[in-house]
Amino acid sequence: MSARKILILNGHPAENTFTQALCKAYASAAEGAGHIVRMHNLSQLEFDADFGQAGFSGAKRLEPEIETVLSDFEWAEHMVLAFPLWWGGMPGKLKGLFDRILLPGRTFDPRTVTDGLPKPLLAGKSGRVLVASDTPPDLMEQFYANAAHVQVERQIMNFVGIDPVETCHFGALQGSSADERAAWLSTASELGALAA
């Protein structure tokens, strides 16, 4: 397999988390396999997470740090997003990041509409989602129809052209053993080595 350009976004707003460990495991294995990796940690990004208006015209200028994140979205061939499941979805700061950077003209083109959807501008990229949660994967599917997965895969990544997207759900974190966490980190490493 030829080297791929990979962007990893650690979407946990705190440092020293299992989500961060998943990202590091993925990144280390990907780099070891010869892939080119850029990583951003949400905890280190300073920006106004409030989009603050009803339309896209006159949107706030992107802070330099999140302009870099958006540029790396455009640069990457494979996008990895890791986040903790909070109240059935992603943390608010991560949602705010997407509100700010997924902009018309950069990630989608509203002037060209097919079947009610604007033209995606990040087509040709693939995605991997790593979700860390106290909700076990089987309950996530049974009781919540994988709603958080659907939001990220279809309403965010697919919307801007990142397709296919695959999700791994790790949990339940609460009460998990050291062996279970080691196995989950091993899974992240295996995916990183394959750039999958």
CB 36 within 8 A of CB 44: no
Rg of the chain over all Cα atoms, to the nearest angstrom: 17
d(CA 70, CA 92): 18
- Tens-digit pLDDT profile for residues 122-167: 999 999 999 999 999 999 999 999 999 999 999 999 999 999 999 9
Enter the DSSP assignment of 44: G
Beta-carbon count within 10 A of 82 CB = 29
d(CA 23, CA 142): 27
Domains of the chain: 5-52+59-194 (3.40.50.360)
pLDDT per residue of the chain (196 residues) written in tens, 0 to 9: 799 999 999 999 999 999 999 999 999 999 999 999 999 999 999 999 999 877 787 788 999 999 999 999 999 999 999 999 999 999 999 999 999 999 999 999 999 999 999 999 999 999 999 999 999 999 999 999 999 999 999 999 999 999 999 999 999 999 999 999 999 999 999 999 999 9
